Structure 1
Amino acid sequence: MQHNPPPLPSLTDRISDAAFRAMMSVARALPYERRVPMVGWIVSRLIAPVAGYRRRIRRNLALTFPGMPHDKVEHLVRAVPDNIGRMVAEIYSGEEFLRRVRDLPLEGPGAAALEAAHAANRPVIIAAGHFGNYDAWRGALTGRGYPVGAIYRPMDNVLFNNHYVEAISAIAKPLFARDKDLRDMLRFLRSGGMVAFGFDQYFRKGAPLTFFGLPAKTPTSAAEMALKLGCDLIPIYAIRQPDGLSFRIITEAPVPHTDADTMTQALNDQLEAQIRAHMDQWLWVHRRWKDVKGG
């Protein structure tokens, strides 16, 4: 079968990738404690206004929290991109980042379920939102010897995608490209692997569930896979701490097996509770509510 070659990077792709590489080259020359907040500041103060992040955050907050005071909105307009920048700096810090997260304790009722599944060589579906730093818990699970894989969506900018995949592979692997590596993922799960599924981005063919009380098309693939394999579906979060550099790893109890929509709504509800407690740590730059007027 003949495969079409990937499209050549555009000039915009080349410029944006070169700018990112230059930023990270400067950042990596700094000590970790300075590098992470510096990249957070750059993304928050310089990149976010140009990339439209601030506009998107304000729009999403207007939908979900219409009565939020102006000063709190403006705080989140700065704090959300700061968390994004810190996360990027951490991911690209490789072993320095892993040393800080691999021995973190797993808190919450899901920790025992993960340990039991690993001991019995049973698969686990991990439900992961774009919250805190979702690679911190990957490093913590890998540090325990748990076999942790993840599904990722290849970036449109192939230049950026190449080094991004390399960076996240250094934290934990295998990685499975969405819509391409299903057979490999199933084989890994059936061998006792744990695979992280995202569920908090808009999915046009998703179930008409709710998130923050609004209609939100949500992928149900995590619940469907857990039902298919008869395995645990466990939500997990890496919550950034007030120092801006450390994390707590929180695990929820396995979601009871019912049907895919009910289980996925439980994931939405639990993630919403975490976001309400840590508003600056979710990626409010997503167009999560496309079917809502103003979204």
Structure 2
Amino acid sequence: MLTLFRLVSAWPLALLHAVGAALGWLSWLLSPTYRRRFAQNAGLAGYDFGQVRAAVGHAGRMVAETPRLWFGPPVPMQWAGTEAVDAAYAARRGIVFLTPHMGCFEITAQGLAERYHAEYGPITVLYRPARQPALSEVIETARRREGLETAPTTLAGVRQMIKALRAGRAVGLLPDQVPPDGMGQWASFFGQPAYTMTLAAKLALQTGATPLLVWGERLPRGQGFRLRFQPLAEPLADDLETAVEQINHEMEGLIRQCPQQYLWGYGRYKQPRKL
């Protein structure tokens, strides 16, 4: 599998996105379960299929662009809202970067690592280890890069992230990812109860780190990506339960900026798996 990823990584980004869009629509056509969940999730947010149909192609683009991002030459990146990032790094209290399953979340960590690690140290990103050994090897190889460290979704990984924040460095995670049972709380997401991780809020509250929002906009015609940053609308609440609800609301706001690039097929409202 590693050989295949390296081979595909040489393809132009525009070609990968074209192939990915076709694969996204093929998956949508072949899976009634996917179509149903896509429509249900989008409907809960107030969108009909016509408004978010582009998200079908973007889901495929996300998969197809991954080999290029992991093993290929650099891709063009634009930056928006870096004033908030620069100020948070300069404060040296640590940063918790939060992004939903939207656009290209892989590029956000890579971009931050490339731009800031020399002065402020590496960014540590949370990831769920792959169950397939071959895919696990690919992921571990791909993410061994300067300025980027990974933390597994284990107690050891949480300790690693806390240590990084207390050293004034940055961490990144997807707070709309459904955590295992016992590691989250039920909170509103587009008006529907969704099992939501408490880790993002805990990291910020326990360490005093600055939470910042980020998402990687996928530009048309293979032109690259635009990394968009912004602070929370209001300071994070001191109460954990309220803070979790607040982060969900912030994720909703980001998604509404570009619902055509959100993964509406993600099982956001599923029951949490047992540990």
Normalised to the residue count of structure 1, the TM-score between the two structures is 0.76
**Is the contact between residue 48 and residue 81 of structure 1 (CA under 8 Å) also seen in structure 2?**
no
Q: Quote the residue 1:210 is aligned against.
A: 188
Q: Which amino acid aligns with 1:274?
A: L
CA RMSD of aligned residues (A): 2.9
Over 4 Å off, 4+ runs: none
Matched, 1:54 2:35: yes
Shift of 1:96: 4.5
Normalised to the residue count of structure 2, the TM-score between the two structures is 0.81
What are the within-5 Å matches in structure 2 for residues 157-176 of structure 1? 157-170=132-145, 173-176=148-151
* Pair 1:185–1:209, CA change in 2 (3 A): same
Q: Which amino acid aligns with 2:20?
A: V
**Is the contact between residue 234 and residue 253 of structure 1 (CA under 8 Å) also seen in structure 2?**
yes
* Pair 1:148–1:250, CA change in 2 (3 A): same
Shift of 1:145: 2.1
Aligned length: 261
Residue 256 of structure 1: which of 219, 235, 244 is its match?
A: 235
* Pair 1:29–1:128, CA change in 2 (3 A): closer
Q: Which amino acid aligns with 1:138?
A: A
Shift of 1:236: 1.0
Shift of 1:126: 1.1
**Is the contact between residue 95 and residue 212 of structure 2 (CA under 8 Å) also seen in structure 1?**
yes
* Distance in 1 of aligned mates of 2:33 and 2:10: 29
Structure 1: state its 5+ residue gaps. 1-17
Q: Quote the residue 1:38 is aligned against.
A: 19
* Pair 1:182–1:202, CA change in 2 (3 A): closer
* Distance in 2 of aligned mates of 1:256 and 1:132: 25
* Pair 1:125–1:154, CA change in 2 (3 A): same
Based on CA coordinates, which of the two structures has the bigger radius of gyration?
1
Q: Quote the residue 2:93 is aligned against.
A: 122
Matched, 1:273 2:245: no
Q: Quote the residue 1:148 is aligned against.
A: 123
* Distance in 1 of aligned mates of 2:208 and 2:6: 45
Structure 2: state its 5+ residue gaps. none
SS where residue 105 of structure 1 aligns?
strand
Q: Quote the residue 2:198 is aligned against.
A: 220
Q: Percent identity?
A: 26
SS where residue 119 of structure 1 aligns?
helix
Q: Quote the residue 1:187 is aligned against.
A: 163
Q: Quote the residue 2:104 is aligned against.
A: 133
